[in-house]
A and B are shown apart, each in its own frame.
Chain A
Amino acid sequence: MNIVVLVKQVPDTWADRSLRADGRVDRDAVAPVTDEITERAVETALQLKELHGGSVTVLTMGPARAVDALRKGLAMGADAAIHVSDESLAGSDALQTSAALAAALRTVEVDLVIAGTESTDGRTGAIPAMLAERLALPQLTFLSSVTVSDGVVSGIRSVENGTLEVRAGLPAVISITEQAPEPRFPNFKGIMAAKKKPMTVLTVADLGLEVGEVGGDASWSRVANVTPRPARAAGTVITDDGTAGAQLADFLAGAQLI
């Protein structure tokens, strides 16, 4: 089974992230990290490979430094990496990003595409569904568990009001939730081996996309304005002396919350 995992580099959620006036996350102000959910996607892929054989390829679209996310995936145990990297892609919206990723996926033979449910910077949760649409593959998204057997992928989809059992024949696109297994740590051997694994770089031209189709200037959705939310005013903090519960009830009554 050939698995492609979509990994993404994002600004560290532990840092104070900020938005630029054009609505893009300020990627220079904050250290980039691999989005944790996509590391879980890599882990899921590696476990499936351990069970069923085949190969794991990590794929990302992002600037030059996003190569770190691919290296980490290779160090964890992926076999190959594809980096979609082209300056003209900067500022692409979800529609354009999915077009580029779909084009990259068409360059390889793939049975299973594994993504995270949604990324911590944009939080659109759109890319996996868009890829299923573009590649005409069944979509099994928001899976809290996945199994593959006899060419069929099945899993539990976790939604707001419960769970669904879903299944489809391969090839398919899946996305996994935070309940997917925790990512393994790359060991020294893995990090050394990663250096020798194949890394393909694809440009917009390589993907057969028109430069005018991608990038912020051609995007289909645009940010008109960005306003920071005003900081919260400082509140009252008390130490419990046995009456804290009653004092809180007074406060809530004063604020007409009870």
Chain B
Amino acid sequence: MGQILVLAEHTQGTLDRVTGELLAAAALLGEPAAVVVGLPGAADALLEQLAESGAHRVYVAETADAEALLVTPAVLALDAAVTAARATGEVTAVLVNASIAGRETAARLSVRLTAGLINDAVGVELIDGVVVATMQALGGAYIVQSTAVELAVVTVRPHAISGQAPAASAERVDITIDTAALPAAAITAVHAEVVARDRPDLTAASVVVSGGRGLGSRENFSLVEELADVFGAAVGASRAAVEADYCAHHMQVGQTGVTVAPQLYIALGISGAIQHRAGMQSAKTIVVINKDAGAPLFEVADFGIVGDLFTVVPQLIEAVRARQNA
């Protein structure tokens, strides 16, 4: 069975949830192993968690530059880990989170290894010894399955894969990387986004409430947040709302924003341009509130309300609260 290397993501000594997902995906393809990149000493706290999450081996690259250089430390670590792993057997695939940095890391690794890159997989399986990844294309309008010739470098969409790999021994293998060997951008400051407490990630949320230009102002956009709070939902937006500065750019759903596939998507004051639909039409249930009966988003609505969102949404909040308290 080939080894499947997973780039571990971790924050202050704790594995990010996505790392468990990647290891679960790896277990479907072969023997999971993790690659940890971090500041000196960072791996100690992670080994036990990685064992529980199913890593047979843990390749550890510790460097003082781990958080100071953009993308290249992870690229070098994965490259060195593939070399080390190949000394003990075959490597079938490398799995990386399909985040912005993860996709870039995978892209560069695929150049270094001359290995096929498969992006944003929502499923992986091994068929006749070949890694087959499932993706959504053109905003979820198509399901595509792809394979790579020989080694596959795959980015996996967060929260797309469920399950858990069986616990393993997480045997530590230290590797060294020379971060000076690759020209890189320096990270001079980090500004974490302040997200409302208890608000789930847009990509992981089972309910998403999005607002569009119909909200009319940044102040009014708080109505979207209020409704989201009732559902414990994430907040999304159309590009028009982002451009009008009602909310932050990373909340944009659509062709050039985030793709979401929640159980429930509620769109407030969004017309439903094709580029917006591309990011949400895989939602299980779609609710649309818009005062224009001709808004194209009604075409994909499971339940649509032609009406003024400023009167309908307060009614809805009240009605849902009443049921929740009943």
Contacts and interface: CB of A to CB of B under 8 A. Distances in A.
A138 B183 contact: yes
Nearest to B318: A245
A159 B98 CA distance: 12
Interface in A154-172: 154, 157-168, 172
Contacts of A68: none
A240 interface: yes
Interface in B187-203: 187-193, 195
Given A168-B186, A178-B256, A221-B149, A93 B71 contact: no
A67 interface: no
A139 B184 contact: yes
B45 interface: no
Contacts of B108: 129-130, 132-133, 139
Q: Is the interface of B mostly helix, strand, loop or mixed?
A: mixed
Interface string B120-143: 100000000000100011101111
Interface residues of A, number: 83
A236 B112 contact: no
Contacts of B110: 94-95, 126, 130, 220
B301 A235 contact: yes
B101 interface: yes
Interface stretch (B26-34, B50-58, B304-312): B304-312
Interface string B198-233: 000000000100000000000000000000000100
B104 A139 contact: yes
A220 B149 contact: yes
Contact of B100 (A125, A227, A232): A125
Contacts, number: 272
B39 interface: no
A209 interface: no
Nearest to A237: B304
Nearest to B302: A235
A29 B67 CA distance: 46
A37 B114 CA distance: 28
A211 interface: no
A94 B301 contact: no
Binding site of A, secondary structure by majority: helix, strand, loop or mixed? mixed
Nearest to B146: A223
A223 B144 contact: yes
Nearest to A243: B315
A16 B186 CA distance: 42
Given A139-B70, A249-B319, A224 B264 contact: no
A235 B70 CA distance: 46
Nearest to A218: B149
Given A164-B190, A257-B207, A237 B142 contact: no
Interface string A128-157: 111011101111111010000000001001
B142 A245 contact: no
Interface in B260-313: 263-264, 274-275, 278, 281-282, 285-287, 293, 298, 300-308, 311-313
Interface in A162-221: 162-168, 172, 177-179, 219-221
A98 interface: yes
B312 A23 contact: no
Given A133-B75, A224-B132, A19 B256 contact: no
* Most B-side CB within 10 Å, residue of A18, A154, A226: A226
B166 interface: no
Given A95-B114, A225-B144, A178 B249 contact: yes
B178 to A, nearest CB: 14
B109 to A, nearest CB: 9
Contact of A129 (B71, B148, B323): B71
B185 A125 contact: no
A144 B285 CA distance: 33
A249 B227 CA distance: 12
B142 A227 contact: yes
A165 B189 contact: yes
Contact of A137 (B70, B183, B256, B320): B183
15 contacts: A13-B275, A120-B255, A125-B104, A162-B193, A165-B189, A168-B184, A221-B116, A221-B148, A229-B141, A235-B302, A243-B315, A248-B312, A248-B316, A253-B323, A258-B320
Ranked 8 nearest A-B pairs via Cβ: A245-B315, A240-B307, A221-B116, A220-B116, A249-B319, A126-B107, A237-B304, A245-B316
